[in-house]
Amino acid sequence: MTLSWELAANGPAKRRYALTASGKACLSRWVRTLRAYRDAVSDLLDTAASSGAAKTRRAGSKKDKRREG
């Protein structure tokens, strides 16, 4: 990331940030990683839903807490 200052005739100076070429490459890799995680979680949820697992009650749900108390 690079930093530069923008000096204005009136008002305070402003900092301007820009990604370097290596920063853009890093961001691109991170976006691909996050998309892969998203796709994996989506596949997991789809599998759970199609197997009926999504219909089971979650631990810590309101109904579970009423039983404990």
The mean pLDDT value for 17-38 works out to 97
Number of domains in the chain: 1
Q: What is the pLDDT of residues 36-63, one digit of tens each?
A: 999 999 999 999 999 887 665 566 666 5
Within-domain flag for 39 = yes
- Do the Cβ atoms of 57 and 64 come closer than 8 Å? yes
pLDDT at 52: 80
Residue 44 sits at the vertex; the CA angle it makes with 64 and 42, to the nearest 5 degrees, is: 105
- For 6, the domain range is 2-51
User: Collapsing DSSP states into helix, strand and coil, what is residue 10?
Assistant: coil
- Round to whole Å and give the CA distance between 39 and 50: 16
Within-domain flag for 61 = no
Predicted confidence band of residue 3 (pLDDT cuts 50, 70, 90): very high
pTM of the model: 0.57
Average per-residue pLDDT for the chain: 86
Within-domain flag for 12 = yes
